[in-house]
Amino acid sequence: MAEDPRDWEIETRAVRGGMARSPYGEISEALYLTQSFAYDSAEAADKRFSGEEPGFIYQRFGNPTTQMFEDRLALLEGAESCRATASGMAAVHVALTGLLRAGDHLVAGRALFGSCRWIVSELLPRFAVETTYVDATDLSAWKNAVRPNTKAFLIESPANPLLEVTAIGAVAEIAHAAGAKLVVDNVFATPIFQKPLALGADIVVYSATKHIDGQGRVLGGAILGAEPLMTETYKDILRHTGPALSPFNSWVLLKGLETLELRVRRQTDNAAKVADVIAAHSKTQQTVYCGRPDHPQAALIANQMTGGGNVIAFDLGSRAAAWRFLDALQIVDISNNLGDAKSMATHPCTTTHRSMPEAERLEIGLTEGWVRMSVGLEGAGDLSRDVSRALDAA
């Protein structure tokens, strides 16, 4: 019997999933840098366009390299379908606009990535979609926010930057009872540590820019879910609005998936060690890391995640102390990306979350002393020494 890739272990799916070899038998996946495709006859073109015969038509609709990336990520996620996008924000934008119409209502967790908040707060209202923000950890808040026209729920879990975790299964039940779809931004957990679809979510989105590339090169994103929801909701909007991922970036991300599991596990081992150094230091007022038993939602994390991930948040009490810490780092970069092989740290209040009004920042507990660190693949000893020295200087 032929092997079913869905039965493979995750390591095998990461390396071999979605592979579609050309007649040349290449080992490394081919990069099909082509916009269009030629047909054997006018009739063949007709059949391709009508959908009667499968095949590619135009890069905006699909591309063989991009499809390999989509198929491999779908296998890793355990999703029936995956559509790649040019960035994580394109994925979030399409995920929401595909589900929502004028007059509909969205409920969103209030701790969201800055650009996601802009889409929800500034863009959707232009098209008459209203949103209620809730404390995502409070299940009664989700229930109370539901209206007759609620069509979608949006959460990020763990959330940026303070790693607040939402009970995905319980929120999915509330969404479904209301006739709404649950969209989960799973960037921080990665497909290695959390499977929102298996927990009850309808749609998962990724910024592939983060751990999936993981080497600081390209932007990319993805939307995943079950058929027929994916086709009904996203096929036309993706074809006609043009957020297609370039085949070159697809190829980079496809190769990124081969080592995703290895990298994320090593980053997580490093993060656990660095989090211990941070938590033990006298300058640290609070440390939040999903892999620590003192995370405020450790029980929930044990239920729905299989690893703590590579992001740590910690409070040094003031902006001045946070900046002194950042400026004293010698190995770790000051940068706002995450999931990279290189460790980096940022001051959310003045970078990633600077456009968030202060009142809203305080609502999620984001005061001026917080630092967010993405732990990379350097030696844990070097990272611990660098962080410890910078904390001394804070």
Ligand X SMILES: *Cc1c(COP(=O)(O)O)cnc(C)c1O
The DSSP string of 95-119 is HHHHH--TT-EEEEES---HHHHHI
Instruction: In angstroms, give the least distance from the CB of 217 to ligand X.
Output: 12
Instruction: In angstroms, give the least distance from the CB of 90 to ligand X.
Output: 7
Cβ distance to ligand X smaller for residue 163 or 274: 163
Instruction: In angstroms, give the least distance from the CB of 34 to ligand X.
Output: 24
Name the residue with the smallest CB distance to ligand X.
Answer: 88
Cβ distance to ligand X smaller for residue 160 or 284: 160
Contact residues toward ligand X (CB under 6 A) are: 87-89, 92, 113, 115-116, 156, 160, 185, 187, 207, 209-210, 219, 221
**How many Å apart are CA 45 and CA 234, to the nearest integer?**
24
Closest among 186, 358, 168, 343 to 267, alpha carbons compared: 343
Q: Sign (positive/negative) of CA torsion 23, 51, 74, 123? A: positive
Cβ distance to ligand X smaller for residue 116 or 394: 116
Instruction: In angstroms, give the least distance from the CB of 76 to ligand X.
Output: 18
Cβ distance to ligand X smaller for residue 184 or 321: 184
Within a 10 A sphere around the Cβ of 30, how many other Cβ atoms?
16
- In the chain the first and final C-alpha atoms are separated, in Å, by 62
* DSSP helix/strand/coil, 2: coil
Task: For residue 197, give every residue at least 6 positions away whose Cβ sits within 8 Å of its Cβ, in sequence order, or none.
Answer: 77, 78, 79, 204, 224, 225, 226
Cβ distance to ligand X smaller for residue 116 or 332: 116
- Cα dist from 179 to 146, 150, 175, 199, whole Å: 10, 8, 6, 17
Instruction: In angstroms, give the least distance from the CB of 232 to ligand X.
Output: 24
Instruction: In angstroms, give the least distance from the CB of 93 to ligand X.
Output: 9
Long-range contacts formed by 18-26: CB under 8 A, 24+ apart: 18/67, 18/68, 18/69, 18/70, 18/71, 18/72, 18/73, 18/74, 18/75, 18/254, 19/68, 19/72, 20/64, 20/67, 20/68, 20/71
**Amino acid, single-letter form, for residue 175:** A
Tokens encoding 109: 């967790």
Cβ distance to ligand X smaller for residue 132 or 337: 337
Instruction: In angstroms, give the least distance from the CB of 144 to ligand X.
Output: 25
Instruction: In angstroms, give the least distance from the CB of 222 to ligand X.
Output: 10
Tokens encoding 68: 């390999």
Instruction: In angstroms, give the least distance from the CB of 226 to ligand X.
Output: 22
For residue 349, the 8-state DSSP code is: G
Alpha helices by DSSP H, the chain: 10-16, 42-50, 64-77, 88-99, 114-118, 124-126, 139-145, 168-177, 190-193, 196-199, 229-241, 247-280, 298-304, 319-328, 358-363, 380-393
Instruction: In angstroms, give the least distance from the CB of 383 to ligand X.
Output: 21
Tokens encoding 185: 């931004």
Q: Give the count of alpha carbons within 13 A of 345, CB side only.
A: 27
**How many Å apart are CA 25 and CA 174, to the nearest integer?**
49
Cβ distance to ligand X smaller for residue 151 or 210: 210
